[in-house]
Structure formats: C-alpha cells, structure tokens
Amino acid sequence: MIAESIALPLGFERYLVLLGDGVTVPVILRTLLMSALAAAFTLLLGYPYAYWMLTGNATTKKLLLLMVLLPFWLSVMARTFAWFVILRDGPIHMVFRLFGIDLPSLLGTPMGVTIAMVQVMLPFMVLPLYNSMKAVPDNQLTAARSLGASRTKAFWMVFFPQTGNGVMAGLLLVFVLSLGFYVAPALLGSPQQSMLAQLIARKVQVLLDLPAAGALSVMLIIALLAVSLLSWALGRIVMGRPADAHSN
C-alpha cells in the first residue's frame, strides 16, 4: 500500500485528472500571470535603478550596490514577515490616511503578494541589467548626440537596444524563480488565490496525495523548460538581427 501511494505519476491519467479537476488549471494560469507581473514590475523598477547605478558618482554606485546586495543577507522569511506588517496596517496605509484615503488591507490579495515578490526578486533583475549596461561604450551616446539626436532618442535608439541581453536575462530569471515561489504567497496570500507551489505543498502535507504532487511538479518543470527554450529562441533571433544586417 505504501509503495502504491508514493508511485511516480508516469501515466497520463493522473495529468488528465488534474487538468480536469477545475482547480489545477486556474492555479497554473494564476501562477503564470503573477510571475509575468512580477517580472514586468521588476523590469520597470530595476532598469532605472541599474541606469542610476551606471551614471552615478562613485559614492552613489557603492550605496546603490549595497542596497541591491543587502537583501541577500536577510532571509526571505524575515522580509516576508516584514511585508505582513506593512501590508496589513503599516506605513503605506498611514501615508494614504494623510490624504484622507482609508486603504484596505492588502493581505490575502494578489496585489500584496505581487508587491512582496517584486521586492524579493528585484536584485535578480538589477544585476543582469547593470552588467549589460556596463558593456555599452560611453562614446556611443556622445556620438549620437553629436549627430543631432536628442538625449531621449539617443537613449532609446542607441543605448537601450544594446541592453537587450540584460533585459532578457533579468526577465527570464525573475519569471522562472517566481514560478516556484512559495513563501510570499503562503504568508501574504489566501487559499483562494494560491499559486502552484502552494498547491503542491497542500497535496503533500494535507491531502497526502503524493502522485498528484509529483504530477504537478512535473508540470512545473515542463513550464520552466518551455520558458527557457522560448527565451533562448527569442535571444537567438534578437542577437541574429545585427549580424544579418551587418552581413548585408
């Protein structure tokens, strides 16, 4: 009986049952959506932050780099519990009350979970971006300005395209890590808004359905491989364009 209960889900029946139970598919879609949102918001916050690190003076660079590395010295659990206090009734709510706005608690909401995920994942976006930005020669922007391009046009036409590798690497890294995120959704989310890692934990700890948990883990691995292959293919396409243009 024990051997049967822990048998690996090699057949397709287990996957068909999970996909048709009305729970697994919404959880997978929610996990993909929240991981994509976390990747998008970390890019929006991380790109100007990395650019500030690049263009700031020596003191500013050291301070900003310290702030990026500081989260690695603190446990994810401690940072998540801090967000538990902040999102329940913390400084954010106090600021809104100054303007007469009574902000509801963000605990148990996808927004609260996304905020915590973005904070945890931000260093994984900033560091690849900063590394790609350092590889861009400084004289290219100067040359673009000397040819009549405005500062904004020179940035978008000359600088930004050359940081595409960093953007792709940061998006992939954050998205892949977010797919298996557990701590923030478990502490700050709700059972109705659970993600895939929570569902796997529930199958193991509460329902003792190890074959189902194994099948869900295989689905997660397949999703990770699919995203990695897609990003690799997109990277090959993007990297191939300059070479093709130069050869012509």
- Tokens 């106090």 appear where? 94
- Helix pair 210-247, 12-19: axis angle to 10 deg: 90
Q: How far apart are CA 197 and CA 180, in angstroms?
A: 6
Helix (H, G, I), strand (E, B) or coil at 36: helix
Say if 4 falls within a structural domain.
Answer: no
Query: Range of 143's domain?
Result: 23-239
CA distance 46 to 183: 22
SS3 state of residue 198: helix
CA dihedral 182, 178, 95, 93 (to 10 degrees): -30
Q: What is the CATH number of the domain that holds 209?
A: 1.10.3720.10
Give the pLDDT of the chain (248 residues) as one tens digit per residue. Answer: 334 444 444 567 777 777 777 788 888 888 889 999 999 999 999 999 999 998 888 888 889 988 888 878 877 788 888 888 787 777 777 777 777 777 777 777 888 888 888 988 999 999 999 999 998 887 887 787 777 778 888 888 888 888 888 898 899 889 988 888 888 888 888 777 788 888 888 888 887 878 888 888 888 888 888 887 877 777 677 655 543 444 34
In the chain, the number of structural domains is 1
Q: Is residue 174 a part of any domain in this protein?
A: yes
pTM: 0.81
Report d(CA 111, CA 236) in Å as an integer.
34
Contact predicate 129/68, CB 8 Å? no
Q: The tokens of 198 are what?
A: 């929570």
- Whether 117 maps to a domain, the answer reads yes
CA-to-CA distance for 46 and 127, rounded, in angstroms?
Answer: 9
CA 184, 124, 173, 30 dihedral sign is positive
- Amino acid, res. 81: F
Residue 93 lies in a domain: yes
**pLDDT recorded at residue 41:** 94
244, part of any domain: no
Query: Would you say residue 41 lies in a domain?
Result: yes
Give residue 38's pLDDT.
Answer: 92
Residue 235: the pLDDT is 67
The amino acid sitting at 150 is S
Helix (H, G, I), strand (E, B) or coil at 1: coil
User: What pLDDT is stored for residue 47 in this prediction?
Assistant: 95
* Predicted local distance difference test score (pLDDT) of residue 11: 63
Integer Cα distance of 199 and 222 in angstroms: 17
Q: Are 197 and 182 in contact (CB under 8 A)?
A: yes
